[in-house]
A and B are shown apart, each in its own frame.
Chain A
Amino acid sequence: MAKKKKRAARLATRSRRPIAARRSTARQPIRQTLDLNACEQFLLHEARLLDDGKFEDWLKLFTPEAWYWVPSEPGQADPFETVSLIYDDRRLLETRVRRLLSPRMYSQEPRSRTSRIVGNLTIEESGKDGYTVRSKFMMIEYRREQQRLFGGTALHRLVQSGGRIMIAWKRVDLVNCDAPLDGITIPF
Chain B
Amino acid sequence: MHVMSEDLSNLVQPGRVHRQIYTDPAIFDLELERIFGVAWIYVGHESQVKSPGDYFRTFIGKKPVVLVRDAAGDIRVIHNQCAHRGSLVVANDNGNTDEFMCCYHGWTYHLDGRLKAVPLQHGYPENFDPSNPKTAMTQVPRVRSYRGFVFASAAADGPSLEEFLGHMATSLDDMIDRAPDGEIEIAGGVFKHAYDGNWKLYLENLCDAAHPIFTHRSSIDAAQQQSDAVHSDGTGEIAIRQMRQNGAPYSFWESQVGIWTYPNGHSYLGDYHDDAKLVAALKDPVFRDYIAAMEKKKGKAETRRVMEVRRWNSNVYPNLSFMSQFQQLRVVHPVAVDRTVVHTYNFRLKGAPEQMFRNTISFANTVNGTGSLVLTDDLEIYNRIGMGLSSAGAEWIEIGRGYRSDLPDAHGGRRGVNSTSEVYIRNMLDAWLGYMTAPTLSSPASGGGKYPAA
Contact = CB atoms under 8 A, between A and B. Distances in A.
B5 interface: no
A5 interface: no
Interface in A161-188: 178-185
Interface in A82-99: 82-96, 98-99
A66 to B, nearest CB: 8
A29 B333 CA distance: 48
B215 A91 contact: no
Given A99-B222, A180-B341, A67 B233 contact: yes
Contact of A183 (B193, B217, B223): B193
Nearest to B232: A91
Nearest to A109: B380
Contact of B189 (A73, A94, A99, A183): A73
B222 A98 contact: yes
A90 B231 contact: yes
A184 B372 CA distance: 8
Contacts of A147: none
A13 interface: yes
Interface stretch (A100-108, A114-122, A127-135): A100-108
B361 A81 contact: yes
Nearest to B345: A83
Interface string B54-75: 0000000000000000000000
Interface stretch (B127-135, B156-164, B236-244): B236-244
A76 B190 CA distance: 12
B346 interface: yes
B132 to A, nearest CB: 37
Contacts of A76: 189
Contacts of B235: 79-80, 87-89, 92
B358 interface: yes
Interface string B178-219: 000000000111111111100000000000000000010111
Contacts, number: 151
Interface string B305-316: 000000000000
A85 B193 CA distance: 10
Interface string A123-154: 00000000000000000000000000000000
Contact of B234 (A10, A102, A106, A181): A10
Nearest to B376: A183
A80 B365 CA distance: 10
Nearest to B188: A82
B332 to A, nearest CB: 12
B190 A83 contact: yes
Contact of B236 (A80, A89, A104): A89
Nearest to A96: B373
Contacts of B234: 6, 10, 89
A182 B231 CA distance: 30
B389 to A, nearest CB: 16
Given A91-B232, A185-B376, 14 more contacts: A6-B234, A81-B187, A86-B369, A86-B371, A89-B236, A91-B230, A93-B236, A98-B222, A99-B219, A180-B194, A180-B341, A181-B192, A183-B379, A184-B376
Q: Nearest 7 CB-CB pairs, A to B? A: A183-B376, A92-B236, A91-B236, A105-B218, A99-B222, A184-B371, A102-B218
Interface of B: 187-196, 215, 217-219, 221-223, 225-228, 230-237, 239-240, 243, 285, 341, 346, 357-358, 361, 364-365, 368-371, 373, 375-377, 379-381, 383
